[in-house]
Amino acid sequence: GIQVEQSPPDLILQEGANSTLRCNFSDSVNNLQWFHQNPWGQLINLFYIPSGTKQNGRLSATTVATERYSLLYISSSQTTDSGVYFCAVGTDYKLSFGAGTTVTVRA
Amino acid sequence: SQTIHQWPATLVQPVGSPLSLECTVEGTSNPNLYWYRQAAGRGLQLLFYSVGIGQISSEVPQNLSASRPQDRQFILSSKKLLLSDSGFYLCAWAQGNYGYTFGSGTRLTVV
């Protein structure tokens, strides 16, 4: 199956800082999504981004499909940004998830 | 608007007991439906997915099974739970090949 590697595994930020999360994948995909899992376990879809760049408020994402990686940018981080960020990739309806990046934003 | 319901939120079951987790989706038709499991502190593992009524694909051999008796209903079952079945179970839906929406999950502890 497709291998998904996320880095870094853990990230500690001071409130207001910017950060970049990376997702590398091992094969061509036609589906790539970023999710945020809050401390209560709820998974929220942030972006559907198999290619190109998207922005939603303080979050943006870029996927370079030909080079098999995606980046998630968090700007002006807030404590509510804390949680685990997952990258998921796939084809044919199925997504394989990476191990996630645990982000802790300190006030 | 579309909503997804998953219950119960938490469940404690003895080893060897049966299991039934239910997931329903509202506001859409013919969705793709998924069951994922998340072990503590780890990523999500795809267990089953369905692209239509009665169509179930299994990704990981185990003592769990899934059924889709209605278009917007997806059920995860086991006849006899094992300790290793403990985890956080998440149901999700998607329309075609687009963004997933997850339910709120069920925390299962097998004792």
Q: With CB atoms and an 8 Å threshold, state whether B97 touches A100.
A: no
User: Where are chain A's structural domains?
Assistant: 4-106
Q: DSSP 3-state helix, strand, coil percentages of chain A (rounded to 5)? A: 5, 60, 35
- Which residue does chain B place closest to A102, by CA atoms? B41
Inter-chain Cβ pairs, chain A and chain B, closer than 8 A: 49
As a whole number of angstroms, the distance between CA B64 and CA B12 comes to: 17
A19, A70 Cβ separation under 8 angstroms: no
Q: What is the mean pLDDT of residues A63-82?
A: 97
Q: How far is A101 from chain B (nearest CA, A)?
A: 10
Query: Is B45's pLDDT higher than 70?
Result: yes
* Mean pLDDT taken over chain B: 92
Q: What is the mean pLDDT of residues B63-91?
A: 95
Q: Measured between CB atoms, which of A30, A35, A43 is closest to B97?
A: A30
Residue B97: per-residue pLDDT: 66
Q: How far is B1 from chain A (nearest CA, A)?
A: 16
Query: Is A90's pLDDT higher than 80?
Result: yes
Residues spanned by the domain of B95: 3-110
CATH superfamily of A4-106: Immunoglobulins (2.60.40.10)
Query: pLDDT band at B95, cuts 50/70/90?
Result: confident
Q: With CB atoms and an 8 Å threshold, state whether A41 touches B104.
A: yes
Query: pLDDT band at A72, cuts 50/70/90?
Result: very high
Q: Measured between CB atoms, which of A31, A41, A94 is closest to B49?
A: A94
B99 inside 8 A of chain A by CB: yes
A76: left (phi over 0), alpha (psi -120 to 50) or beta: left
Q: Measured between CB atoms, which of A41, A44, A48 is closest to B98?
A: A48
DSSP-derived secondary structure letter, A40? T
3-class secondary-structure state, position A65:
helix
How many domains are there within chain B? 1
Residue among B101, B39, B96, B106 nearest B75 (CA): B106
- Interface with B, mutate which of A31, A43, A101 (most B CBs under 10 A): A43
3-class secondary-structure state, position A26:
coil
Query: pLDDT band at B104, cuts 50/70/90?
Result: very high
Per CB-CB distance under 8 Å, the chain B contacts of A88 are 44, 100
| Share of residues in chain A with pLDDT > 90 (%) | 93
Query: pLDDT band at A94, cuts 50/70/90?
Result: confident
3-class secondary-structure state, position B84:
helix
Query: Is A92's pLDDT higher than 80?
Result: no
Q: With CB atoms and an 8 Å threshold, state whether B100 touches A45.
A: yes
The domain that holds B86 is classified in CATH as 2.60.40.10
Residue B62: per-residue pLDDT: 79
